[in-house]
Structure 1
Amino acid sequence: MQAEAVAEVTPAHLTLLDSPQRWWATCGGILLLALAVCLPALERVPLESHEVLVAQTTREMAARGDWLLPYFNGVPRLNKPPLSYWLTGLVARLDGTLPNVLAWQARVVSALAAVGMVALTLLLGARLFDRLTAALAGLVMAGSAGVFTFAHAARPDMLYALCTSGVLVAAIVQLRRPPSEGLRDWLGAGAVWLAVAAATLCKGPQLPVLALLGVGLQAVIVARGWRAPARALRVLPGLLGVTLGCGSWWLVLYLQVDFSQLAGSQLAGALLLPQLARLGDPYYFYRPLQLLVPWLPLAVPGLLLCGLREARRDSGWLWWPLLCGCVGLSLGRQYRYFYLLALLLPLVLLLARAVAVALTASTPAARWARPVLWLVLACQVLLSLGCAGWLLVSGARVGWLTPVVLSLTLGTALGAGLLARLRAAEPRLAVLVALGVFNVGLWPGAALTGVLWSPERYAEDRLARAAAQAASGATPLVSLGVSPTLMVYAANRRVPLLASAREVVDALARSPTGRLVLVARSDRPLQWPAGVSASELTRAHAGGHPNVLWVLRTERPGRRTPP
């Protein structure tokens, strides 16, 4: 398929990114900023329950020596495919701690995936539009809440977003390349299907299929038929390769797990069945904009500016995957705003393209949009300064303010330098770039202070650690009405989830030490039979009711156990 010609809208006097040296220096600077956002404090924040599912599953797979069947809390975990476990185990192996998995080892996969997302944004922006659009999109991506939040989470969502973005980028590049039958064409198509397989082994085929469907629709429109796009993507060999790769793992899983366990699980496709009654639900057309914080003042008008004629050129390669993703996800059983993280790349590129056109195009519509852009930038400045002020006030202790002040100082200094460099050429662009660097500088301070994570998260971690310490040796550790996930990781052992006080007493009777450690909800009245004493060690607030750590003992004859 012949690649469409991309018209440059950048005026002649704006030559900042013209030379390869400046362009690569700009890319390097943006990637360094992305690293500054993603890497700080990976080890400081306690793992939450969804992160523990990755870290502890990796531990148990390593301890069992079975890297094909995921296990958690001693039983098969049939919720997610194994790619995130494999990569986490690789990091722990390289660091020499496996089978133990530390918090930063579980999160660094997501952090590097987030940097990879920024790199793919720069690549596709430059290939599809121009370097200015790519640079603006890279800054917005690096400074977005979606990247920061999920780069600091061991969940597979950021890795899934990287793989899905890889599908999108590889497919667009392949379909816009002149047709050929050489090795390069086969490698391009292979990259598409390799990314599809990786995404499927990460979290499932939903988003890569929707992204590929959207790109395919645009290719059919451009080629005026489906044969050329299908030939360019090598659809049949690609599907065969994905089926052999992913299907082989699934077959091994099927042979190892009882069918009654596998049926109805997420790995059996329980979440893939569409809910047609939900068609038309607008949730995914507005709620995922939360991923763009603190860029919301720029995001909403920016997306409206996508209607400019210059901004519409080649934008179908992004609009169709985004539309297919929103509609497809709306048919799902679960609604989570971060499910669209996998399609954050086209959203950011559309926003950056509209802003770049409004800044540089010479059409009457673009000139009319520039005063509006000044107003939007003013609102964006106020919000960014407000976020910085909130971080400073929320620091609580003077010592915690140091990283915030340093990051803001660095962001302001870099922004001021870029402002001086660009002021003569395009003041609006200068303000926007300075804002981008400043917004990126907010996140390292937020990470190092920990103000974005709730106190309950730290309290629950302390409770889990206290429970693990109290249950040393052969003393059983159980939970009653409380998810045992955090305790499983803290103790690195199986923690049964019991349903009644009777089961707790039975577990105490079987304890070889005559003691039992129990974590239960405080709103659940507990009565123990004669001969059983209970003492409260600590409690942690989690939602409306605290969780309480108890130590139960079997009283011996002639000995009074303190309450």
Structure 2
Amino acid sequence: MSVTGPRGTAGRLGALQQLLLVVLCLFAFLPGISTLPPTDRDESRFVQATKQMVASGDYVDIRFQDEPRYKKPAGIYWLQSAALAVTGQGADAPIWAYRLVSVLAATIAVLATARLGAALFGPLAGLIAGTALAGIVMLLFEGRIAKTDATLLATAVVAQAALARVYLTARGRLEPSAAAPWVFWAALGASILIKGPVVPALSALTVASLSLFDRDRAWLKGLRVGRGVLLMLAIAAPWLLLITWKSGAEFWQESLGKDFISKVGSGQESHGFPPGYYAAIYVLFLFPFAPLALRSGLKALNRRRADPALLFLVCWYVPYWLMIELIPTKLPHYALPAYPAILLAMSWALTDATAQADDLPRWQVWLWRLTLAGFALVALALAAISVGATPYLTGAFSVWGLLAAVLLLAAAWFGSGLRAGAGFRTAVLPATLASAAAFAVLTVAVVPGLKPVWLSPQLADTFARVKTCPESRLIAVGYHEPSLVFLTATNTLLTDAADAAAQLAANPDCTIAMIDERAMERFAAALPGGLAGVEEVGAVEGINYSKGTKRFLRFFRMKP
């Protein structure tokens, strides 16, 4: 396959270009993975379940303490377990070892996006798309957190890239690839093990939309559906069968009934929002490229009938976006699998001379202006938070916060596309470097220092200091965040005041009770002899950011 220009039939990134993208990804995603404390609640639930999986040697059943955790399949826990093994860490590994999976997955997503962009619109476009993906707020966050979403993105981009290869080969746009259909189905199988039906739904919507707009389904033969589905099932089905054998119907009731269907049918876990939510948060999570990407996406939408590659990107982004807008349960990361499509459209618009000359209809111009106004507000808000968070929470000024603010404003200026002659070196690369540098400063030097919001590390340190024997157990009342369990011990008991008093009385030598100030009366009433029989050995005050409430937690042990 030869390297051609941006409107050629194919292109390929060179080895040096891909290596530079890998270096960029390491700069974007590695800083902060060891300094940022475990976050609540999803990340800490994932890593604690992996910790227990490694400690127990049971790689089929998934548990958080004694409770089954069947909302997601086992794929992410296996990958995190493999990361612990590769790094030589065991069940007590620090948080950075678990986060390496997301760093690697985000890097794969960037490379796959860049390779697809090169194939569709030329090597320069590929560099633009991959570089831009590495710089957006959403992936800068998910790429350094030990959750499923960066890994899911990697499977989504690989699947969609293979699907694009099959579709555009049939349209005479790309050269044939015998491996493409098998890569597509294998990626779908892997995605099911990560997060169930999300990526299959994305690809199904893309296929259905392409078939509808093209009015031609002959290209579907290239997907090798019969044998491809068998490959997908060969990857995903063994664990599904094992967990069904082990749990009976409980896994399916939890994952499909309580998790998937409830998200589709109603707003789950206080995350219900009306349609328009993802349009509203677009300017934040696609920062710093939101206005430029939107303008490019609109041009691609207008040109979709003239170029099957642009039609593919439209059918990737728009139907999936409409689907998640209609689902009542909404979380910001749900939109992540769609973002590569609009960034690929941006790479086309920045490298195609005819696209740069395109004028938008009036309503699209006003939409772009509205987006630009929202983007400006977001940039200023991010800068203000970077500067003001440390003084507000700790009373001290942080020069690192000021540096992060300057970098964020620079990223916004370069990434907005307002400068004349916006391109790879003049807009995309400097915007990504500034955005990634800002996140590095924030996650290494600013956010970890906001101690009032990091209650769990302080509580774990206090417990380690005051416990009376190596096997001491922490009994927690009024603060039940998963990060506390991960940072202390799997047997940490999250309970109420009466049970805490009973546990402390039953094992006075090796039990520490941690009581929220609001539960003190109930705790004292349940203790034999009241507070006279215990001694306070420590206290921590701060903010539970998961609930947005202040907490004052006191540590007690029985008097000798």
User: Is 2:210–2:315's contact at 8 Å kept on the other side of the alignment?
Assistant: no
Name the residue aligned to 1:242: 232
CA distance in 2, matches of 1:233, 1:29: 33
Matched, 1:199 2:191: yes
Q: In the alignment, which of 350, 354, 365 is matched to residue 345 of structure 2?
A: 350
TM-score (norm 1): 0.79
Name the residue aligned to 2:553: 548
Q: Deviations over 1:432-464 (max 9, x none)?
A: 244444334333223322348854442332113
For residues 263-302 of structure 1, the aligned pairs below 5 Å read: 264-266=253-255, 270-272=259-261, 274-275=264-265, 281-302=275-296
Tell me, what secondary structure is at the counterpart of 1:264? Answer: helix
Name the residue aligned to 1:34: 25
Matched, 1:482 2:490: no
For residues 150-161 of structure 1, the aligned pairs below 5 Å read: 150-161=142-153
Alpha carbons of 1:457 and 1:163: their partners in 2 closer, same or farther (altered >3 Å)?
farther
Name the residue aligned to 2:539: 538
Letter in 2 for 1:342: P
Q: Deviations over 1:225-254 (max 9, x none)?
A: 33431x211122222332343222122112
CA distance in 1, matches of 2:482, 2:432: 38
User: Is 2:37–2:448's contact at 8 Å kept on the other side of the alignment?
Assistant: no
CA distance in 1, matches of 2:315, 2:125: 19
Name the residue aligned to 1:45: 36
CA distance in 2, matches of 1:209, 1:523: 47
Q: CA shift at 1:353, angstroms?
A: 2.9
Letter in 2 for 1:531: G
Letter in 2 for 1:486: S
Q: CA shift at 1:428, angstroms?
A: 3.4
Name the residue aligned to 1:561: none
Q: CA shift at 1:168, angstroms?
A: 1.0
User: Is 1:522–1:545's contact at 8 Å kept on the other side of the alignment?
Assistant: no
CA distance in 1, matches of 2:398, 2:47: 31
Alpha carbons of 1:373 and 1:441: their partners in 2 closer, same or farther (altered >3 Å)?
farther
Tell me, what secondary structure is at the counterpart of 1:516? Answer: strand
Q: CA shift at 1:111, angstroms?
A: 1.2
* Structure with greater Cα Rg: 1
Q: Deviations over 1:177-221 (max 9, x none)?
A: 2599xxx8553211111111111111111x212221133135425
TM-score (norm 2): 0.79
Q: CA shift at 1:300, angstroms?
A: 4.1
For residues 408-487 of structure 1, the aligned pairs below 5 Å read: 427-429=421-423, 431-433=426-428, 434-451=430-447, 455-471=451-467, 472-487=469-484
CA distance in 1, matches of 2:376, 2:513: 53
CA RMSD of aligned residues (A): 4.2
Q: CA shift at 1:103, angstroms?
A: 0.9
Letter in 2 for 1:226: R
User: Is 2:299–2:349's contact at 8 Å kept on the other side of the alignment?
Assistant: yes
Query: Unaligned regions of 5+ residues in structure 1, if any?
Result: 1-5, 11-17, 416-422, 557-563
Matched, 1:228 2:219: yes
User: Is 1:484–1:496's contact at 8 Å kept on the other side of the alignment?
Assistant: no
**What percent identity do the matched residue pairs reach?**
19
Deviates further, 239-248 or 140-149: 239-248
User: Is 2:503–2:511's contact at 8 Å kept on the other side of the alignment?
Assistant: no
CA distance in 1, matches of 2:258, 2:401: 48
Matched, 1:189 2:181: yes
Q: CA shift at 1:125, angstroms?
A: 1.1
Q: CA shift at 1:9, angstroms?
A: 5.5
User: Is 1:56–1:489's contact at 8 Å kept on the other side of the alignment?
Assistant: yes
Q: Deviations over 1:296-343 (max 9, x none)?
A: 343444444445548963222122222232233245452112111122
CA distance in 2, matches of 1:388, 1:281: 28
Q: Deviations over 1:389-431 (max 9, x none)?
A: 87577677899649959x969x99xx9xxxxxxx9xx843353
User: Is 1:197–1:245's contact at 8 Å kept on the other side of the alignment?
Assistant: yes
CA distance in 1, matches of 2:81, 2:51: 8
CA distance in 2, matches of 1:141, 1:85: 25
CA distance in 1, matches of 2:376, 2:36: 29
CA distance in 1, matches of 2:76, 2:358: 50
Q: Deviations over 1:472-519 (max 9, x none)?
A: 4343322224315223212223122224x3222221232152743224
Tell me, what secondary structure is at the counterpart of 1:200? Answer: helix
Deviates further, 519-528 or 506-515: 519-528
Matched, 1:324 2:319: yes
Aligned pairs, number: 522
CA distance in 2, matches of 1:281, 1:375: 18
Alpha carbons of 1:311 and 1:247: their partners in 2 closer, same or farther (altered >3 Å)?
same
CA distance in 2, matches of 1:214, 1:147: 23
Tell me, what secondary structure is at the counterpart of 1:248? Answer: helix
CA distance in 2, matches of 1:328, 1:513: 56
User: Is 1:172–1:215's contact at 8 Å kept on the other side of the alignment?
Assistant: no
Tell me, what secondary structure is at the counterpart of 1:548? Answer: strand
Deviates further, 323-332 or 91-100: 323-332
Tell me, what secondary structure is at the counterpart of 2:138? Answer: helix
Q: CA shift at 1:42, angstroms?
A: 0.9
CA distance in 1, matches of 2:486, 2:239: 26
User: Is 2:155–2:191's contact at 8 Å kept on the other side of the alignment?
Assistant: yes
Name the residue aligned to 1:168: 160
CA distance in 1, matches of 2:495, 2:229: 45
Letter in 2 for 1:489: F
Name the residue aligned to 2:516: 520
CA distance in 1, matches of 2:132, 2:358: 27
Name the residue aligned to 2:200: 209
Alpha carbons of 1:224 and 1:445: their partners in 2 closer, same or farther (altered >3 Å)?
same
CA distance in 1, matches of 2:371, 2:499: 61
User: Is 1:539–1:549's contact at 8 Å kept on the other side of the alignment?
Assistant: yes
